[in-house]
Amino acid sequence: MTTFPLLGEPLAVDLANTIARLRGRDVDLIADDAGLTAWLSLHPQLGAVDGDELRALRGAIREVFQATAETRSADPDAVTAVNAAAFRCLATLTSTSDGPVVEWGGGPLPVIARSAVEVVAAASLRGCANHDCVLFFAHGDERRKFCDTRTCANRARQARHRERHAQA
């Protein structure tokens, strides 16, 4: 069973984080049907998705996210791919007993691309401060620097501790 890091982020960030660094090498967690099925089971609102199209969109989203985190221009082809998919996303308003609700449609890829646009527009995206980590997160706290306190932040604390004690 595939384990996905840092779930619970906006949908596009969850997808971008299906590339993870394990033991010093980048691993595609949705490279095969089992990984893709496992990830989609965590996002049942998406329904069926063509794996190759999803991985292609993920590549474009990761490029846009990396450029955002590094404050540089993104590859124009990546921007075009995300925009083209997001353009197909449809919003509908549904009246419920709790008030109006916006539902997003148009298929899974447009919904994911819309999520990517929203994350970039909100200026809340960061890449993990651990140089060995390739994960992104949407921060709600300006002080947050690491994707996860149990792994990357803890490693940084351990490194600072070793450095202080090595100097003593």
pLDDT (tens digit per residue) in 145-168: 777 766 676 665 666 656 677 765
Q: What percent of the chain has pLDDT over 90?
A: 57
CB atoms inside a 10 Å sphere around CB 112 = 27
Which pLDDT value is given to residue 10? Answer: 92
Average pLDDT over residues 5-11: 80
CA distances from 129 to 11, 29, 50, 146 (A): 21, 21, 32, 5
Cα separation, 114 vs 88, whole angstroms:
9
Q: Is 62 helix (H, G, I), strand (E, B) or coil?
A: helix
Which pLDDT value is given to residue 41? Answer: 93
Quickly state the pLDDT bin for 32 (edges 50, 70, 90): very high
Which pLDDT value is given to residue 161? Answer: 58
Which structure tokens are listed for 89?
């996303």
- Check if the beta carbon of residue 112 is closer than 8 Å to that of residue 10: no
Tens-place pLDDT, residues 53-107: 999 999 999 999 999 999 999 999 999 999 999 999 988 899 999 999 888 888 9
Burial 121-160 (b: 16+ CB within 10 A, else e): eeebbbbbebeebbbbbbeeeeeebbbbeebbbeeeeeee
CB atoms inside a 10 Å sphere around CB 168 = 4
Q: What percent of the chain has pLDDT over 70?
A: 88
Identify each DSSP E strand in the chain by its residue range: 19-22, 25-28, 90-96, 99-105, 125-127, 136-138
Q: How confident is the prediction for the chain on average, in pLDDT?
A: 87
